Amino acid sequence: MERGEIEEKLLRGTQQETDDDDQDGVKLKEKLWIESKKMWIVAGPAIFTRFSTFGINLISQAFVGHIGSVELAAYSLVVTVFLRFANGVLLGMASALETLCGQAYGAKQYHMLGIYLQRSWIVLFICSICLLPIFIFMTPLLKALGQEETIAEVAGTIARWLIPATFSFVLSYTCQMFLQAQSKNMIISYLAAFSITIHLILSWLLTAKFKFGIRGVLVSTILAYWIPNIGQLLFITCGGCRETWRGFSVYAFKDLWPVIKLSLSSGAMLCLEIWYNTILVLLTGNMKDAEVSIDALSICLNVNGMEMMISLGFLAAASVRVSNELGNGSSKAAKFSIAVSVLTSLVIGLVLFVFFLLLRGRLAYVFTDSPKVARAVANLSPLLAFSILLNSVQPVLSGVAVGAGWQSIVAYVNIASYYLIGIPIGVVLGYAIHMEVKGVWIGMLFGTFVQTVVLIVVTWRTDWDKQVAIAHRRVTAWLVVEPEQSTQKRQEA
């Protein structure tokens, strides 16, 4: 099939739309049930996978917390700030693959998914190399940022141990998004469950049984990150994706610049959000009683992160459903999938909002034995509950942006709402009005609220028929016509 014929076929899809649903007399209740099933096929495994992946750090932090308070503070800084930063950069850049693979799959250009995957590997591996100095020079970097010397020294050791974890993200996120675009992410869930089970057993053996201390936890953590990657690669390359993986291709090294540009805008979009929370942790490091502040805040952020795993599952579902429908030429179906994803995530967020508002500081004892830290967590619980409520909507709208390819637009929204509004208000409340951690967090919450409102307005006012046309141009512009297709066409002629 030549490029012109492919483009004509895609454009015909825009005229068919999903108005067929109305012509067939499909009721709203039935449409809701069908869309919910499609959404949960992606969201269910994605939520479980993210909980399992998040659980790796949670288990590690729980074991480290019982080794010592200095070790907990150091581990919290490295993981909550810098590993999450590297995670955010690579996850953000990999989200370009969600746009490309999702729209190509919706347009039935299956062979392009494997090529996009390989291009993303190249781009993300180069990015990982660029991130290495942060982990190698962690100790002097933290000292320059004003962290306590003992915490900085231990954090430097932890950071160097976690360098292999950084490279694991390259394969992890790209393979996940490649499989997710095809709704084949159940295999990821199985691998994640296996990995976290091994991590829990190995962490207990190396720390509680054999007394290897923090190094034992780190060895187990690295293995837990790499085990799923091996399984995903085997599944993709050994027959699990016959339509979309057709072997390694030289086309992976061609037309890299459009992929790099979309990856950079995707990385900027997500990194601006990750850095937002990073600044929150770093600001607490300069307050009095920094060790307690960092410990309490990191526990709250971990609890908030647990709820975020649910929202990120819906982010994945929204991204896949929107990109698939845009690639398929169905703007009405894309809009309906957005409404279902946002409302479902919001209902879950409201339930968790009430739950964590009532729970307060009791959960802190999972991570620490310190009553002082537990009291600080209880003091922050109302803010935690409101964060959870906002996070039930905001990530899903970000998923819509990824599915439509709006990453650069959202990056500008993040700069304005987070860095021109949220952080300045947080600094004033935290330092000038002496509200300490509470003041900083209130400012950050206000920035997130502004961002959420802006994304709602942008999504509501978008011309989705125009987005279908943009998706079609993207698919046809980067299309690789397979040699066997061209040969067959000549033979038929």
Query: Does any domain span residue 493?
Result: no
Angle of helix 436-461 relative to helix 371-391, nearest 10 degrees, comes to: 10
Query: Does any domain span residue 420?
Result: yes
As for how many domains the chain has, the answer is 1
Q: Where are the alpha helices (DSSP H) in 26-162?
A: 28-65, 69-76, 84-106, 111-136, 138-144, 149-161
- b/e 37-63 (16+ beta carbons within 10 angstroms → b): ebbbbbbebbbbbbbbbbbbbbbbbbb
Confidence (pLDDT) at 227: 92
Q: Which helix (H) or strand (E) holds 392?
A: none
Query: Does any domain span residue 286?
Result: yes
**Residuewise pLDDT in 10s, the chain (493 residues):** 455 555 555 455 544 444 454 444 457 888 888 889 889 998 888 888 888 877 888 788 888 887 888 888 888 878 867 787 788 788 878 888 888 899 999 888 898 999 999 999 999 999 999 999 999 999 998 888 887 888 888 999 999 999 998 899 999 999 999 999 998 888 999 999 999 999 999 999 998 888 888 889 999 999 999 999 999 999 999 988 989 998 888 888 887 887 888 888 877 777 777 677 667 666 666 566 666 666 777 777 777 777 778 888 888 899 999 999 998 888 888 899 999 999 999 999 899 888 877 777 676 776 677 777 777 777 887 888 888 888 889 889 988 988 888 888 888 888 889 888 988 898 888 888 878 778 888 888 898 899 999 999 999 999 999 988 888 888 776 677 655 444 444 344 3
Query: Does any domain span residue 486?
Result: no
Take residue 7 and report the two structure tokens written for it.
């483009």
In this structure, is the dihedral angle defined by the CA atoms of residues 335, 403, 189 and 393, taken in order, positive or negative?
Answer: negative
Q: Are 452 and 482 in contact (CB under 8 A)?
A: no
Query: Does any domain span residue 65?
Result: yes
Query: Does any domain span residue 189?
Result: yes
Query: Does any domain span residue 57?
Result: yes
Confidence (pLDDT) at 220: 93
Residue 246's domain comprises 3-481
Q: In this structure, how many other beta carbons lie within 10 angstroms of the beta carbon of residue 162?
A: 23
Rg of the Cα trace of the chain? 23
Q: Give long-range contacts, CB 8 A cutoff, 24+ apart: 27-36.
A: 31/336, 32/340, 35/321, 35/333, 35/336, 35/337, 35/340, 36/340, 36/344
Single pTM value for the model: 0.80
Q: Are 222 and 164 in contact (CB under 8 A)?
A: yes
**Residue the block writes with tokens 């994706």:** 241
Q: Are 14 and 465 in contact (CB under 8 A)?
A: yes
Torsion angle of C-alpha atoms 261, 262, 263, 264, degrees rounded to 10: 50
What whole-number distance in Å separates Cα of residue 450 and Cα of residue 286? Answer: 27
Confidence (pLDDT) at 290: 60
- DSSP-based three-state secondary structure for 112: helix
Question: Which residues neighbour 406 within 8 Å (Cβ) at sequence distance 6 or greater?
Answer: 458
Question: Which residues neighbour 188 within 8 Å (Cβ) at sequence distance 6 or greater?
Answer: 45, 49, 175, 176, 179, 180, 228, 232
- The size of the chain, in residues, is 493
Q: Where are the alpha helices (DSSP H) in 245-289?
A: 256-284
DSSP sequence for 353-367 = HHHHHHHGGGGGGGT
Q: In this structure, how many other beta carbons lie within 10 angstroms of the beta carbon of residue 194?
A: 15
Q: In this structure, how many other beta carbons lie within 10 angstroms of the beta carbon of residue 483?
A: 8
Torsion angle of C-alpha atoms 316, 322, 325, 327, degrees rounded to 10: -90
Query: Does any domain span residue 492?
Result: no
